[in-house]
Amino acid sequence: MKNVSKLQAITGAKCPHCRQGDIFEYPASRISRFTETKERCPVCGQRYEVEPGFFIGAMYISYSFAVALMVAVSVAVFVLGNDPALWVYLVAVITANILLVPFMFRYSRVLMLYWFSGIKYNPRAAP
């Protein structure tokens, strides 16, 4: 069993209980199936959806990602483009949001699991 830090487990989208098993069925690069979340950890058997509708809360985290991205892209367009026309802001913000949907979707679920599921790390959970 290897020792995995919390940051490594979060960035790698690993189970909050054992930090070994994957949370998602497919890599984020698989655009047609990036949303598919495993029901249970393949390593320790921890159930990910700890209560019905648990991941609905991830919507709020995802929303905060989208707002942060909108602000960051708008500031970048303002600075780099010397305050261009409104449509430039809209195109940049919408494009950035569409491109980062897999990232925002997956990490909102990962953070939901780590922050609000109540699942505690147990290094002995993995064989």
Q: Is 15 in the site for Zn ion (CB under 5 A)?
A: yes
Q: Which stretch binds Zn ion (CB under 5 A): 17-25, 27-35, 54-62, 76-84?
A: 17-25
Q: Is 21 in the site for Zn ion (CB under 5 A)?
A: yes
CA distance 22 to 2: 15
CA distance 86 to 64: 23
**Contact flags string 55-94 toward Zn ion, x per CB under 5 A:** ----------------------------------------
Select from 9, 23, 24, 46 the one that contacts Zn ion (CB under 5 A).
46
Q: Can you give the C-alpha Rg of the chain in angstroms?
A: 17
Torsion of CA 71, 101, 63, 24, to 10 degrees: -140
The SS3 assignment for 79 reads: helix
- Chain residues binding Zn ion by CB under 5 A are 15, 17-18, 21, 41, 43-44, 46
